[in-house]
């Protein structure tokens, strides 16, 4: 009977982790995880590579039974004394939820000078975007973002959830992870199309910091096209609007555009780095208005957010960082699907474009041709 109620069997992203990443995007300097020492360990360590300190109240069996209020108060005061942060975050966990801890009471008792973003969250939500939303609500309450930005983010979160449920890793009961197609074979096909004089659209539709590596594919395609003397056959779309998004997200767009400045021209800006769930509509309108006769598209980041009707008649080469995204993209009709393994750890804490495996393969194969 219980199995009949299961909608998705494979592991899903955690709301706690989503809240931590959102605190980072709000330029929080120290985040306190109120729970067991091992909770979200891998992501906490990765986030420290990205400049945010993550500490834990390290609740043990006694804390599970008798509560961790005093420990959280002590940790808040210790964080202020030791790091003097301008902005602090406190994130709940499954344990703090089960024992009924009130984060706000501890924050009031600690009586800190720095603003504290409190995120009452646990990992029991089906949609990890709940963790983002709770962090944003708290940021709104303490005046770090305004109502307009909060509502904009809320809309994007709803759209991101819809995309994942329709076409992404939440679209099926179980999705087998896959490494996708062989990069050498697909790179060979791209070069072949360029030699045949076919026209292509390179679409960067990436999520936040992942764009540091996906942008390399735009650079590599441009380099190969220039070497073949067909650079005019490629147009570049990118969601790199520097005026949209939370503080750190806008900085990512600025860094990437600065790297691209002398090497590639972005013909069409299709939104900000947090607008990947809705950028597909702008892509559709642009293609219908200006690029209907193009032969192929290379799409990196979140290809499943681009509506298939926009890409009708084109041969599709798509690059994702999600092994569970391969089969949904194939089902949608993407002929070639590639996976950039370990992309996320390689793009945390960087401020320049990072070489991708597919970009490196394209460059190497072009040299050998």
Q: Are residues 356 and 284 in the same domain?
A: yes
Q: What pLDDT digit, counting tens, does each position of 285-307 carry?
A: 999 999 999 999 999 999 999 99
Q: Are residues 208 and 308 in the same domain?
A: yes
Q: Using N-to-C axis directions, what is the helix angle for 357-368 and 183-195, rounded to 10°?
A: 50
Confidence of residue 363 (pLDDT cuts 50, 70, 90): very high
Tell me if 346 is assigned to some domain: yes
pLDDT greater than 70 at residue 349: yes
Q: Are residues 190 and 236 in the same domain?
A: yes
Q: Are residues 274 and 336 in the same domain?
A: yes
* E-assigned strand segments in 120-244: 200-205, 234-238
Q: Give the residue from 58, 30, 26, 12 showing the smallest Cα distance to 134.
A: 26
Q: Tell me the C-alpha distance between 228 and 233, whole Å.
A: 11
- Domain containing 266: what range? 183-368
Q: Are residues 293 and 201 in the same domain?
A: yes
Tell me if 153 is assigned to some domain: no
Q: Are residues 240 and 315 in the same domain?
A: yes
Confidence of residue 4 (pLDDT cuts 50, 70, 90): low
Mean local confidence (pLDDT), 322-341: 96
CATH code at 130?
3.40.50.1980
Q: Are 54 and 37 in contact (CB under 8 A)?
A: no
- Whole-number pLDDT of residue 1: 42
pLDDT greater than 50 at residue 3: no
Counted domains in the chain: 2
pLDDT greater than 60 at residue 2: no
Residue with the larger pLDDT of the pair 4 and 302: 302
Mean local confidence (pLDDT), 100-108: 96
- Whole-number pLDDT of residue 136: 97
Q: Are residues 86 and 204 in the same domain?
A: no
Q: Are residues 130 and 198 in the same domain?
A: no
Asked which of 126, 145, 164 is the last residue of a domain, the reply is 145
Tell me if 98 is assigned to some domain: yes
Mean local confidence (pLDDT), 248-277: 95
Tell me if 164 is assigned to some domain: no
pLDDT greater than 60 at residue 177: yes
Tell me if 166 is assigned to some domain: no
Q: Are residues 194 and 333 in the same domain?
A: yes
Tell me if 163 is assigned to some domain: no
Q: Give the residue from 362, 17, 22 showing the smallest Cα distance to 193.
A: 362
Mean local confidence (pLDDT), 194-206: 98
Q: Are residues 38 and 91 in the same domain?
A: yes
Mean pLDDT, the chain, whole residue set: 95
Asked which of 115, 145, 175 is the last residue of a domain, the reply is 145
The fraction of the chain above a pLDDT of 90, given in percent, is: 91
Q: Tell me the C-alpha distance between 118 and 318, whole Å.
A: 38
- Note every long-range contact of 332-340, with CB atoms under 8 Å and residues 24 or more positions apart, other chains counting: 332/167, 332/304, 332/308, 333/308, 334/299, 334/303, 336/181, 336/186, 336/189, 337/180, 337/181, 338/180, 338/181, 338/183, 338/186, 339/178, 339/179, 339/180, 340/213, 340/214
* E-assigned strand segments in 227-295: 234-238, 268-269
Tell me if 7 is assigned to some domain: no
- Whole-number pLDDT of residue 5: 55
CATH code at 241?
3.40.50
CA distances to 50, 54, 333, 339 from 133, in Å: 21, 20, 33, 29
Tell me if 192 is assigned to some domain: yes
């Amino acid at each position: 009977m219980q199995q009949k109620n299961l909608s998705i069997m494979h592991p899903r992203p955690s709301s706690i982790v989503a809240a931590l990443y959102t605190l980072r995007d709000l330029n929080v300097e120290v985040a306190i995880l109120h729970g067991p020492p091992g909770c979200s360990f891998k992501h906490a360590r990765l986030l420290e590579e990205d400049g945010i300190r993550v500490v834990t109240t390290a609740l043990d069996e006694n804390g599970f039974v008798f509560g961790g209020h005093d420990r959280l108060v002590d940790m808040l005061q210790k964080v202020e004394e030791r790091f003097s942060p301008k902005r602090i975050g406190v994130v709940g966990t499954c344990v703090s939820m089960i024992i009924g801890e009130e984060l706000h009471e501890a924050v009031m008792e600690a009586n800190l000078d720095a603003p504290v973003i409190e995120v009452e969250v646990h990992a029991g939500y089906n949609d990890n975007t709940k963790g983002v939303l709770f962090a944003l609500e708290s940021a709104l309450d303490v005046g770090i973002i305004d109502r307009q930005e909060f509502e904009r983010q809320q809309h994007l979160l709803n759209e991101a959830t819809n995309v994942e449920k329709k076409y992404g890793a939440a679209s099926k009961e179980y999705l087998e992870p896959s490494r996708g197609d062989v990069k050498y074979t697909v790179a060979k096909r791209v070069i072949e199309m360029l030699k045949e004089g076919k026209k292509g659209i390179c679409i960067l539709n990436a999520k936040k910091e992942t764009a540091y590596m996906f942008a390399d594919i735009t650079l590599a395609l441009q380099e190969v096209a220039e070497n073949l003397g067909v650079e005019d056959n490629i147009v570049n779309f990118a969601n790199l609007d520097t005026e949209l998004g939370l503080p750190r997200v806008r900085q990512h767009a600025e860094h990437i555009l600065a790297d691209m400045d002398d090497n590639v021209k972005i013909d069409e800006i299709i939104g900000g780095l947090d607008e990947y769930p809705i950028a597909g509509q702008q892509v559709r309108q642009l293609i219908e208005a200006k690029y209907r006769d193009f032969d192929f598209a290379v799409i990196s980041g979140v290809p499943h957010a681009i509506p298939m009707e926009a890409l009708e008649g084109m041969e599709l080469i798509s690059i994702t960082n999600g092994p569970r995204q391969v089969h949904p993209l194939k089902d949608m009709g993407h002929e070639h699907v590639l996976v950039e393994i370990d992309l996320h750890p390689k793009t945390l804490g960087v401020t320049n474009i990072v070489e991708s495996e597919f970009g490196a393969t394209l460059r190497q194969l072009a040299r050998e041709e």
